[in-house]
Amino acid sequence: MSDFKDFIGSEKGPQCPRVYILALTDTLNVISGKWKLPIIAALLRGANRFKDLLDSTEKITPRMLSKELKELEMNSIVERKVYNQMPVLIEYRLTKSGKDIANVIDSMIDWGMVHRTQVITNSDTGEEKVNKTVG
Amino acid sequence: MSDFKDFIGSEKGPQCPRVYILALTDTLNVISGKWKLPIIAALLRGANRFKDLLDSTEKITPRMLSKELKELEMNSIVERKVYNQMPVLIEYRLTKSGKDIANVIDSMIDWGMVHRTQVITNSDTGEEKVNKTVG
DNA sequence: AATATCAGTATACTTTTGTATACTGAACAT
DNA sequence: ATGTTCAGTATACAAAAGTATACTGATATT
């Protein structure tokens, strides 16, 4: 485990290694935006053709799907395979990294669920808070 | 552990519970954007006044810092405390949830580092790939 | 009295991200 | 021959996110 807290903990202590920052921004780039996680989820569910992804990712336009798939491919999250039969068949599949990102998703879900219970518990103690995403 | 993969795994299997989706988007909202993680990192390092955060978060403008802190406060990641001495002293501190998010950051770093070694290993096997964030 | 610090706000941009709508071209299917 | 499916592209636009620069008002400091 990398334990970011140890490096971020003190100004005079060891500096947070640059590779950690790079790894972190990589991850954020991969999952940020409106469509990345829905697309990854659809691929995890087994959808693999452009049309499947269009149908199973609600409300996405072909332009956005095309753009997002290109980015995911550039970042080695997705592989695009062309089968030269007639008519041509194109499949998108998650790479190993693409599948592994489910671990990050799990830790996000865990934090999010605990966070919600903490927010609700605190608002019961009389402290009124306005919350944008949690309430 | 929530194990998102079990729910996403099959179309006929159990559906991914809605609370998981909510928790996930909460988390993404908290960490997405250019400044959220740098600010959280600065707070973990111990900075707690507006001026400290301005100085330790490189290149951020007061407008952005003010805006981000308000959002973090609304989402119960940060607490704003006003000490009514003269001159007035204002401190920002991470809540329990705010501190706990370091766990998510750790899992992001872990994934990002493994991902980088996998990308480099694969590009050694002759397959040339263009990568936006990893190379 | 002039200057500096703290904790921001105000106004006006620019850039990035996402949407809407229509279209293309190749290969079938009827 | 006409229509449909697949796998996208093209153009234009709207909205969100971020930047630049200047300013405010209260309280010190010199």
Would the Cβ of B118 be found within 7 angstroms of any atom in strand D? no
Give the residue, A131 or A23, on which the prediction is more confident: A23
Average of per-residue pLDDT across B9-31: 81
One-letter amino acid at B65 equals: L
Least Cα distance to A9 among B105, B58, B69 occurs for B105
Q: Looking at chain B, which residue has its C-alpha nearest residue A30?
A: B133
Confidence at A2, pLDDT banded by 50, 70, 90: confident
Question: How far, CA to CA in Å, does A104 sit from each of A71, A107, B27, B60?
Answer: 19, 5, 11, 28
Pair of tokens at residue A91? 């499949």
Angle formed at CA A109 by CA B65 and CA B134, multiple of 5 degrees? 65
User: A57-69 pLDDT, tens per residue?
Assistant: 999 999 999 999 9
Q: Give the Cα separation of A110 and A40 in Å (integer).
A: 19
Confidence at A122, pLDDT banded by 50, 70, 90: confident
Pair of tokens at residue A9? 């903990």
- Chain A / chain B CB contacts < 8 angstroms: 195
Reduce the DSSP state of residue B79 to 3 states and report it.
strand
One-letter amino acid at A104 equals: V
Mutate to test the interface with B, among A16, A29, A39, A105 (most CBs of B within 10 A): A105
Confidence at A14, pLDDT banded by 50, 70, 90: low
Q: Give the Cα separation of A53 and A43 in Å (integer).
A: 8
Least Cα distance to A133 among B9, B21, B11 occurs for B21
Strand C nucleotides within 7 Å of a protein CB: 5-11, 17-22, 26-28
Average of per-residue pLDDT across A69-92: 95
Q: Is residue B99 predicted with pLDDT exceeding 90?
A: yes
What rounded mean pLDDT belongs to chain B? Answer: 88
User: B29-77 pLDDT, tens per residue?
Assistant: 999 999 999 999 999 999 999 999 999 999 999 999 999 999 999 999 9
Partner-chain contact B109 A27, CB within 8 Å: yes
